């Protein structure tokens, strides 16, 4: 027990005093959070530029409160030069140009951007309908349409980014921690020295597991804390704390990957390269950086074989999708199974010494 | 009345017909020796002689191809947790935890054996590193690192201590300094096994040495006995030109005489008459008298210069 404690302490001090390691485990993911947070801040509402040529009664007569709603989707700029407006639409600078000739509202659009053109056409059609109804004296329509997204209203980018980036940070922290400790301890003959002391291999490994779980908890606390700041605006669902067991299982899974990388590498450089080759592509393929919803089917199938996918999805489920803690059980099972298999392989390849 | 039982019958270390080959190379080729309790035993030989491999097999770090090893009556291979707390090993390359201070290093190693931090700190003082305790280990000088490494190997108070080339790469003063530490360790009753490629170190420290080359022990015994048995001539040297070569031949009948323009050297097995004759003529300018050393023993055994 004392050797477990003192080895944990030695590892933890080694980590805290290693500026590079603390940067990559704690600050680097936070930098990603800031960068992605800024990039996707307005992704929910991207406005469409529309040019209004001359006076268009249906637009000009919209009451103030409805105008506010409209300006969330359309950015209307007034101009008097039709030719210049058409040129802008052709160049793709504006989505459409709207003019009114008597009772006819004309929408000039570019066929090059079908989506934006359809948006403008749809909105203008509804405005024209509304105008017709008003002129016909209908003030309260018999039918109204209200559209609501199925996700929580707050499912902004930060909601899926936080669990995704945190999952990646935990995965790389655990993988690099285990791989580099193993290789540099072997290279610096610390493993040989430990072999000459009565300490068991179990104590060495449990010390590493304990320290890695501690680091993962620290990463999570800092990361979630920052994401909760008003600038980022993360909103956690009620069972958010249920990410802790899944995080522990994920840490174990990636520790085992790190042990395997460390077992087959002779130098810290090689171990670091192998760990990077495993963790970075996996982060992309597991939806850590962006959702896989639009990815091709084969890629989504492939991602089901990656432990990070299960870690990230499961963390999203409890942290922001409001699922109950039991929803994480299958993923915990998968990650633990993965850990057992990979640790077994690493144990078979384990060497105390270089020579 | 206390009766002290001498157990000379069971040596602390027993090695018989030890062999280890790496491919075609026979690193250790039939080595046998015994080390008694409390003895300071040296294994010496040039780099690549098989010293480290022999030591590592005794420590339990390597599996011998064949042969028998008993340390304190126990077999060191496979890893023997019963034996490990009773031996202390200082590795050739000092193994320290990354980014820990000297005090944290020794406390960590001590706690692996259940030894208190207080006792660990005492060891730091014994090797004279009390003031350096809060320095990171890489800030220590080479000699200080070696002393820390030895303290880490001894913190659990082992009965048998193995030191693999503890003074290599140290400056002469740091070496002497370390010799004092090693002598103390031995005088407190511990059995010490040391490998070295410095013959003067072995001569100064060891009760008994084994000279190794090409994986075999060529000769073993107390350094003084080995030197005496060599029956090598004593070399008397004076400054060239003090007396002429002819005068030298006249006063030293039977001695081998050589003048290289710097020194006039007599090699003789009867130094007394020559020294007396030189003194009579007042021809002692730049006198040096050098008896045979382990180096001569080595040269005689291997037929070549010692390659340290």
Q: What pLDDT, in 10s, does the model give residues B242-261?
A: 888 888 888 877 788 888 88
More confident: A147 or A128: A128
Residue A154: per-residue pLDDT: 43
Judge contact between A27 and A223, C-beta under 8 A. Answer: no
B97 inside 8 A of chain A by CB = yes
Range of lowest pLDDT (A126-130, A252-256, B81-85, B109-113)? A126-130
Helix axes A307-319, A268-285, angle to 10 degrees: 50
Residue B64: per-residue pLDDT: 95
> Does A151 have pLDDT greater than 70?
no
Q: To the nearest whole number, what is the mean pLDDT of chain B?
A: 88
Residues of B in contact with A199 (CB under 8 A): 112
- Reported as a single tens digit per residue, the pLDDT across A14-34 is 999 988 888 988 888 888 888
Range of lowest pLDDT (A16-30, A222-236, A340-354, B246-260)? B246-260
More confident: A26 or A153: A26
B113 inside 8 A of chain A by CB = yes
Contact state of B97 with A5 under an 8 Å Cβ cutoff: no
- Reported as a single tens digit per residue, the pLDDT across B72-119 is 999 998 889 999 999 999 987 778 998 999 999 999 999 999 999 999
- Provide the shortest C-alpha distance from residue B114 to chain A (in Å): 7
Average pLDDT score over residue span B40-50: 89
B112 inside 8 A of chain A by CB = yes
Residue A46: per-residue pLDDT: 59
Residue B192: per-residue pLDDT: 96
A18 inside 8 A of chain B by CB = yes
Residue A87: per-residue pLDDT: 87
What are the tokens at A211?
């320290």
3-state secondary structure of A305: coil
> Does B145 have pLDDT greater than 80?
yes
Nearest chain A residue to B87, by CA? A196
> Does A237 have pLDDT greater than 60?
yes
Q: To the nearest whole number, what is the mean pLDDT of chain A?
A: 86
Name the residue facing A17 among B84, B95, B99 (closest C-beta). B99
A7, A10, A195, best to mutate vs chain B, most B CBs in 10 Å: A10
Residue B4: per-residue pLDDT: 45
> Does B3 have pLDDT greater than 50?
no
B93 inside 8 A of chain A by CB = yes
Average pLDDT score over residue span A251-260: 95
Degrees, nearest 5: CA angle A170-A202-A348: 85
> Does A153 have pLDDT greater than 70?
no
Degrees, nearest 5: CA angle A251-A255-A261: 150
Range of lowest pLDDT (A69-78, A205-214, A344-353)? A69-78
Cis ω before B78 (30° cut-off from 0): yes
Terminal Cα distance for chain A, rounded? 30
Average pLDDT score over residue span B265-291: 87
Name the residue facing A197 among B94, B100, B113 (closest C-beta). B113
What are the tokens at B256?
């081998």
Judge contact between A17 and B101, C-beta under 8 A. Answer: no
B96 inside 8 A of chain A by CB = yes
Residue B62: per-residue pLDDT: 92
A131 inside 8 A of chain B by CB = no
Residue A330: per-residue pLDDT: 94
Nearest chain B residue to A18, by CA? B99
Residue B148: per-residue pLDDT: 92
pLDDT band at B222 (very low <50, low <70, confident <90, very high): very high
A353 inside 8 A of chain B by CB = yes
Residues of B in contact with A17 (CB under 8 A): 99
More confident: A89 or A217: A217
Residue A355: per-residue pLDDT: 63
**3-state SS track over chain B:** CCCCCCCCCCCCEEEEEEEEEECCEEEEEEEEEEECCCCEEEEECCCCCCHHHHHHHHHCCCCCCEEEEEECCECCCCCCCCCHHHEEEECCCCCCCCCCEHHHHHHHHHHHCCCCHHHHHHHHHHCCCHHHCCCEHHHCCHHHHHHHHHHHHHCCCCCEEEEECCCCCCCHHHHHHHHHHHHHHHHCCCEEEEEECCHHHHHHHCCEEEEEECCEEEEEECHHHHHHHHCCCEEEEEECCCCCHHHHHHHCCCCEEEECCCEEEEEECCHHHHHHHHHHCCCCCCCEEECCCHHHHHHHHHCCCCCC
Residue A76: per-residue pLDDT: 84
> Does A113 have pLDDT greater than 60?
yes
Average pLDDT score over residue span A274-280: 93
Give every CB contact of residue B293 below 8 A, 6+ residues apart in sequence.
B199, B200, B203, B227
């Amino acid at each position: 027990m004392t050797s477990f404690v003192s080895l944990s302490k030695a590892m933890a001090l080694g980590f805290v005093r290693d500026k590079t390691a603390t940067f990559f485990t704690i600050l680097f993911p936070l930098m990603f959070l800031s960068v992605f947070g800024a990039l996707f801040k307005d992704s929910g509402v991207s406005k469409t530029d529309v040019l209004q040529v001359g006076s268009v009664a249906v637009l000009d007569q919209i009451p103030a409160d409805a105008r506010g709603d409209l300006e969330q989707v359309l950015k209307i700029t007034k101009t008097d030069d039709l030719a210049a407006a058409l040129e802008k639409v052709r160049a793709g600078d504006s989505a459409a140009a709207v003019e009114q000739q008597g009772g006819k509202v004309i929408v000039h659009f570019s066929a090059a951007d079908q989506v934006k053109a359809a948006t403008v056409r749809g909105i203008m059609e509804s405005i024209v309908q509304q105008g017709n109804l008003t002129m016909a004296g209908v003030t309260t329509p018999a039918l109204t349409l209200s559209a609501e997204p199925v996700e929580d209203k707050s499912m902004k980018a930060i909601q899926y980014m936080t669990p995704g980036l945190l999952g990646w940070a935990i995965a790389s922290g655990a993988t690099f921690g285990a791989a580099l400790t193993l290789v540099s301890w072997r290279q610096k003959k610390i493993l040989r020295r430990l072999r000459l002391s009565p300490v068991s291999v179990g104590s060495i490994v449990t010390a590493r597991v304990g320290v890695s779980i501690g680091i993962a908890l620290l990463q999570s606390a800092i990361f979630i804390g920052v994401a909760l700041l008003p600038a980022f605006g993360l909103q956690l669902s009620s069972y958010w704390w249920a990410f802790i067991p899944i995080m522990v299982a994920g840490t174990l899974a990636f520790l085992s990957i790190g042990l395997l990388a460390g077992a087959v590498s002779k130098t810290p450089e090689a171990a670091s390269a192998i760990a990077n080759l495993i963790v970075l592509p996996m982060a992309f393929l597991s939806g850590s950086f962006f959702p896989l919803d639009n990815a091709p089917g084969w890629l989504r199938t492939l991602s089901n074989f990656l432990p990070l996918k299960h870690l990230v999805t499961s963390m999203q489920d409890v942290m922001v999708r409001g699922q109950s803690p039991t929803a994480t059980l299958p993923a915990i099972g998968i990650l633990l199974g993965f850990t057992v298999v990979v640790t077994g392989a690493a144990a078979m390849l384990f060497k105390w010494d270089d020579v | 009345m206390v009766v002290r039982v001498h157990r000379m019958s069971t040596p602390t270390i027993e090695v018989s017909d030890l062999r280890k080959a790496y491919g075609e190379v026979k690193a250790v080729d039939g080595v046998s020796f015994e080390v008694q309790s409390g003895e300071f035993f040296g294994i010496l030989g040039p780099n690549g002689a098989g010293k480290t491999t022999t030591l590592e097999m005794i420590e339990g770090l390597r599996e011998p191809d064949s042969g028998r090893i008993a340390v304190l009556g126990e077999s060191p291979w496979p890893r023997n947790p019963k034996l490990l707390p009773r031996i202390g090993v200082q590795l050739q390359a000092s193994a320290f935890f990354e980014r820990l201070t000297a005090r944290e290093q020794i406390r960590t190693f001590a706690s692996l054996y259940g030894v208190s931090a207080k006792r660990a700190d005492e060891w730091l003082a014994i090797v004279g590193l009390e003031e350096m305790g809060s320095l990171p280990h890489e800030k220590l000088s080479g000699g200080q690192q070696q002393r820390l490494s030895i303290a880490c190997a001894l913190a659990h108070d082992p009965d048998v201590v193995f030191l693999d080339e503890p003074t290599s790469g140290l400056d002469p003063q740091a070496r002497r300094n370390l010799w004092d530490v090693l002598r103390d360790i031995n005088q407190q009753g511990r059995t010490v096994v040391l490998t070295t490629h410095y013959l003067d170190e072995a001569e100064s420290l060891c009760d008994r040495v084994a000279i190794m080359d090409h994986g075999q022990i060529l000769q073993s015994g107390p350094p003084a006995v080995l030197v005496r048995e060599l029956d090598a001539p004593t070399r008397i040297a004076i400054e060239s030109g003090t007396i002429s070569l002819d005068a030298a031949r006249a006063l030293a009948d039977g001695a081998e005489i050589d003048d290289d323009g710097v020194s006039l050297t007599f090699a003789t097995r009867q130094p007394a008459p020559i020294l007396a004759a030189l003194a009579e003529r007042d021809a002692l300018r730049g006198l040096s008298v050098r008896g045979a050393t382990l180096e001569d023993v080595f040269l005689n055994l291997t037929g070549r210069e010692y390659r340290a």
